[in-house]
Copies of this chain bind each other. A is one copy, B any other.
């Protein structure tokens, strides 16, 4: 049997061969003309993927948490009111980060498997002036998606900046930053954007850049400070050499490769592919009598699915059997229910073939562990749903 395993976790994901080839190119100088062109082009392509022709893109060596950190460190000053809308682990992480910069945070935490109702958000905004609010588009810990559009509209109505953690959504879920008037949309390379881990990516609105420019205090984090990075991003986009910290050359060459693949597929088509695959996958999971973590399919992400283990099934044994079938899945992440569920990533270049492999391995593993099921049912359901979508 082929040794290569399918990496079906919610990041890092499966990457295109061209992207991996780009990772392995002989590294060039960070101020070489060909690399300046690649960096500049990447910044331009980000605008296309984010649908933010007016946004200011940032590409910085680091993780998705650094991207969150940059948003918080640059926008927040001591005592600023910030509303954190959370549907999982990463919502709460944003609170931790904001608190570090002296924010006076209010956490609106959805009950497990749910989202925070719009009325509750509006009620908060109505009764207190918030400088900013944060939304986790897709919380990787729960597989829950939040519709950012009406929240961004509320933010606008109440003169509040909106920050979208798009780590598990950008280039996979529907996003229209400028039209929806989201002020920051951030992500990390190893998710739907399709590049190995190591890059923090942000797109910042003109309004948010102005808020940053009008800060009264220095950003209390040197590496995250846009003062250091903005001239560099501008220089690369104008195809001029510039230096602050050495850019992660190979990762950026891989980023340009992936962004070109994304734009060639077309962002609308890519999002539709995520939606139809995720829908078919959820139907297949349901046909096995398994329950997903989001309470309704309307709030289930299209980039990953979080599924409860059936009663009596040991999670470690299931994962191990999946690995024997060359499929790697992720365990739970939400501390309080960590051992009760698993997660399948299906974003980026994901294909029906990949998801059939997952379902096949899952059926065999469950069956071998004594779980009653109709063998082949999930595969059949998946196929039918997919055909219906076309």
Contacts and interface: CB of A to CB of B under 8 A. Distances in A.
B222 A69 contact: yes
A226 interface: no
A224 B63 CA distance: 12
Interface stretch (A24-32, A44-52, A114-122, A305-313): A24-32
Query: Looking at chain A's contact residues, is the secondary structure mostly helix, strand, loop, or mixed?
Result: loop
Interface string A232-267: 000000000001111111110000000000000000
B63 A197 contact: no
Contacts of A190: 27, 246, 249
B65 A198 contact: no
Interface in A1-58: 4-5, 7, 9, 11-15, 20-21, 23-30, 32
Copy count, this protein chain: 2
A139 to B, nearest CB: 15
Contacts of A318: none
B224 A27 contact: no
Contacts of A245: 62-66
Contacts of A333: 243
A24 B20 contact: yes
A83 interface: no
Interface string A58-99: 000111111001001100000000000000000000001100
Interface of A: 4-5, 7, 9, 11-15, 20-21, 23-30, 32, 61-66, 69, 72-73, 96-97, 100-101, 188, 190, 196-198, 218-225, 243-251, 328, 330, 333
